[in-house]
């Protein structure tokens, strides 16, 4: 099975109201989600707002699990950025959002809410740290490399 088939099936289930646990790849959501080890629980994307983590289609055959950093209510355009990115954003429409990530599931099965007050505060501080994020991410990647090897 290809990634695209899995993503489309997950999106179909979510649209039908089924909660789906979805594995995450890559490092674009560090430090909050570790690709290759963590998964996210996806639900139907209702009442989207800035700060939500979503699964979205951002191009032909290109999907991301990233955080909403801006919503333009007039055009219906959403701007996304990975927490582990130091620059660069993606854009999509509300209709391109396939699922809302509500929790992160660690390899040991622990669930962490992405909508809790503490997570929201940490994510907000992390966004403000954009000017020094490059160095913080380098340190985190070294720590994670040692942790998972």
CATH number (domain holding residue 132): 2.10.109.10
pLDDT reported for residue 146: 60
Average pLDDT of the chain is: 92
Residue 4 has pLDDT above 90, yes or no: no
Residue 148 has pLDDT above 70, yes or no: no
pLDDT reported for residue 28: 93
Residue ranges making up the domain that contains 141: 3-147
pLDDT band with cut points at 50, 70 and 90 for residue 100: very high
* Lowest mean pLDDT, pick from 18-22, 110-114, 128-132, 141-145: 141-145
Residue 21 has pLDDT above 70, yes or no: yes
- Please compute the mean of the pLDDT values over residues 123-128 and round it to a whole number: 94
pLDDT reported for residue 32: 94
Give residues with Cβ within 8 angstroms of 134, minimum separation 6: 86
Tokens 């070294």 label which residue?
142
Task: Provide φ and ψ at 110, rounded to 5°.
Answer: -70, 140
Residue 114 has pLDDT above 60, yes or no: yes
The pTM of this model reads: 0.90
Could you give the number of structural domains in the chain? 1
Structure tokens at 27: 């490092």
14 vs 122: CA distance, rounded Å: 27
Helix (H, G, I), strand (E, B) or coil at 82: coil
- Vertex 122, ends 37 and 71: CA angle to 5°? 90
Structure tokens at 88: 């660069």
Task: Provide φ and ψ at 36, rounded to 5°.
Answer: 90, -15
Give residues with Cβ within 8 angstroms of 59, minimum separation 6: 90
36 vs 23: CA distance, rounded Å: 7
Structure tokens at 112: 């962490």
Task: Provide φ and ψ at 5, rounded to 5°.
Answer: -65, -45
Helix (H, G, I), strand (E, B) or coil at 101: strand
Tokens 């909050």 label which residue?
32
């Amino acid at each position: 099975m290809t990634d695209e088939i899995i993503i489309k099936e997950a999106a179909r289930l979510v649209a039908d109201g089924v909660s789906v646990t979805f594995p995450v790849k890559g490092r674009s959501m560090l430090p909050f989600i570790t690709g290759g080890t963590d998964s996210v629980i996806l639900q139907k994307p209702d009442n989207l707002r800035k700060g939500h983590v979503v699964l979205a289609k951002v191009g032909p055959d290109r999907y991301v699990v990233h955080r909403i950093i801006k919503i333009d209510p007039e055009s219906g355009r959403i701007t996304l950025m990975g927490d582990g990115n130091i620059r660069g954003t993606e854009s999509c429409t509300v209709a391109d959002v396939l699922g809302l990530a509500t929790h992160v599931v660690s390899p040991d099965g622990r669930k962490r809410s992405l909508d809790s007050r503490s997570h929201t505060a940490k994510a907000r501080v992390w966004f403000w740290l954009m000017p020094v994020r490059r160095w913080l991410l380098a340190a985190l990647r070294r720590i994670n490399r040692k942790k998972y090897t």
